[in-house]
């Protein structure tokens, strides 16, 4: 057939597109898994290239590869790390549960590119994908290592910095809003006063804790399975290969990767990924609360709460002129919902560590990396286009505070709970103020001035 070459793998002949850097096993996987059209994440491709690059270097140092072959593999793998050959990785995410198809995709691309660098044609196997590019490795230790590398790098470079920037913005709002008094709310009902800065200090602490939890839980990603090969015993690899290769990866990434202390755990279970995903879900839940609160506090502008004023980033309606909607909050809320759903998939996939291997790794990688990417992008957009221009309506806050009957709580030490409750009922029924009714109850004006001061209620311990 024109435009194709014939290659051989252990199952027989396969047609491979003439100019493709991948080979027979990748072509077979393309036929077998026409599922979603979603290829392996770019960060996973880069991580696979990183492993192959340093594996070749260490195998050279150990005397297991000739210098010309090793150098060609290193150069080809470096190009994979840089994203030069991403289009040569077409295997669907929903593939073999070990990620073998993607590992072989990387082996074949790097082998063919290395062969071409040495002056040999594609498909010649002048550089062998299994015997040389995959030397000392198995899909069963390479693919889980690639997931850990990709997730750790994306967390370190994308999500954690986004959370740090969000935290800084929330701390600035805490300071900006600290003198704006407002009514507190519990059960969606009026409660005792707070200041707007206190509310935002709570949001800031949520983000700070989310960052801490992600940092702690993701530290287990630094253990890599490399060196365990097929089932964790390290068969067909040099005893120093795993530790040396991982040390080289750590130097290049500037992240503290280390060889797994127990290869059977590292390959049979995926608890580190489950824990990381759970922390991503926790982060999403915190962000959902923050975005939702801001959305409700900005509701109105006249017939809602209206204590916050959102920046107008786009028209809110195709039919109602002048309408401004909380679109940035809504975008973040949807991302949070997706992340929570992704975690459910990761949890179910984590259950599939059958004997010496988990067999749902590609979908775990897809969901965790998507969660990291979505959260990172949504946080930055929310911080820039919502929080950056967010204002508090001080007059509206004061009006609602004045109307609230919850201020009666401050009178309890003076007149008791039952009398205070009756006072609130009368105020609500008659439209009189709490102050007017309390004066009739015999509470001195100077006492009321002190007890009904909203600012004092926001810091009763001072």
Give the distance between the most distant pair of CA atoms in the chain. 101
* CA-wise closest residue to 160 among 125, 202, 196, 210: 210
Q: Can you read off the two tokens belonging to residue 305?
A: 């709460």
Q: Can you read off the two tokens belonging to residue 63?
A: 């005397």
Peptide bond into 89 cis (omega under 30): no
| 139 has catalytic annotation | no
| 148 has catalytic annotation | no
C-beta separation of 129 from 23 below 8 A: yes
C-beta separation of 182 from 401 below 8 A: yes
* CA-wise closest residue to 23 among 115, 84, 109, 97: 109
- Name the one residue in this structure whose structure tokens are 């489950």: 274
Q: Can you read off the two tokens belonging to residue 38?
A: 């979603």
C-beta separation of 252 from 152 below 8 A: no
- Name the one residue in this structure whose structure tokens are 């750790």: 152
HEC letters along the chain: CCCEEEEEECCEEEEEECCCCCCHHHHHHHHHCCCCCCECCHHHHHHHHHHHHHHHHHHHHCCCCCHHHHHHHHHHHHHHHCCCCHHHCCCECCCCCCCHHHHHHHHHHHHHHHHHHCCCCCCCCCCCHHHHHCCCCCHHHHHHHHHHHHHHHHHHHHHHHHHHHHHHHHHHHHHHCCCCEEEEEECCEEEEEEEHHHHHHHHHHHHHHHHHHHHHHHHHHHEECCCCCCCCCCCCCCCCHHHHHHHHHHHHHCCCCEECCCHHHHHHCCHHHHHHHHHHHHHHHHHHHHHHHHHHHCCCCCCCCCCEECCCCCCCCCCCCCCCCCHHHHHHHHHHHHHHHHHHHHHHHHCCEECCEECCHHHHHHHHHHHHHHHHHHHHHHHHHHHCCCEECHHHHHHHHHHCCHHHHHHHHHHCHHHHHHHHHHHHHHCCCHHHHHHHCCCCHHHHHHHCCHHHHCCCCC
Catalytic residue among 317, 318, 371, 428: 317
Catalytic residue among 10, 187, 261, 318: 187
Q: Any idea which residues carry the catalytic annotation? A: 187, 317
């Amino acid at each position: 057939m024109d435009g194709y070459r014939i290659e051989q793998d252990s199952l027989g002949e396969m047609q491979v597109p003439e100019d493709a850097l991948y080979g027979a096993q990748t072509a077979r996987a393309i036929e077998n898994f026409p599922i979603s059209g979603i290829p392996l994440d770019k960060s996973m491709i880069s991580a696979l290239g990183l492993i192959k690059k340093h594996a070749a270097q260490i195998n050279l140092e150990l005397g297991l590869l000739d210098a010309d072959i090793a150098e060609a593999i290193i150069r080809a793998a470096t190009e994979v790390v840089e994203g030069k050959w991403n289009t040569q990785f077409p295997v669907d995410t929903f593939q073999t549960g070990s990620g073998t198809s993607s590992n072989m995709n990387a082996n074949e691309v790097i082998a063919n590119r290395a062969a071409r660098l040495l002056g040999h044609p594609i498909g010649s196997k002048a550089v062998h994908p299994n015997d040389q590019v995959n030397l000392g490795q198995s899909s069963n230790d390479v693919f889980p290592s690639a997931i850990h590398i990709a997730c750790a790098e994306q967390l370190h470079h994308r999500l954690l910095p986004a959370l740090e920037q969000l935290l800084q913005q929330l701390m600035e709002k805490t300071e900006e809003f600290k003198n704006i008094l407002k009514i507190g709310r519990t059960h969606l009902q009026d409660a005792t006063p707070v200041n707007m800065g206190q509310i935002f200090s709570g949001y800031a602490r949520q983000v700070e804790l989310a960052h801490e939890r992600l940092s702690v839980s993701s530290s287990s990603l630094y253990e890599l399975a490399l060196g365990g090969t097929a089932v964790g015993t390290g068969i067909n690899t040099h005893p120093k290969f795993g530790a040396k290769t991982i040390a080289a990866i750590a130097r290049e990434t500037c992240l503290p990767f280390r060889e797994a202390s127990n290869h059977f755990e590292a390959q049979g279970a995926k608890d580190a990924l489950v824990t990381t995903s759970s922390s991503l879900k926790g982060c999403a839940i915190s962000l959902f609360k923050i975005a939702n609160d801001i959305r409700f506090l900005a509701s109105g502008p006249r017939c809602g709460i209206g204590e916050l004023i959102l920046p107008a980033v786009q028209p809110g309606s195709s039919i109602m002129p002048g309408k401004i909607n909380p679109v940035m909050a809504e975008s973040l809320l949807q991302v949070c919902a997706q992340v929570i759903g992704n975690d459910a998939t990761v949890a179910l996939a984590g259950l599939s560590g059958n004997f010496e291997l988990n067999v749902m790794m590609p979908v775990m990688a897809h969901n965790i990396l998507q969660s990291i990417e979505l959260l990172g992008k949504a946080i930055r957009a929310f911080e820039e286009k919502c929080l950056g221009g967010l204002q508090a309506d001080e007059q509206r806050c004061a009006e609602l505070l004045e109307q609230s009957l919850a201020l009666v709580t401050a009178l309890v030490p003076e007149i008791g709970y039952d009398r205070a409750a009756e006072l609130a009922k009368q105020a609500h029924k008659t439209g009189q103020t709490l102050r007017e009714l309390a004066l009739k109850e015999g509470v001195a004006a100077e006492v009321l001035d002190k007890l009904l001061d909203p600012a004092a209620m926001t810091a009763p311990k001072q």
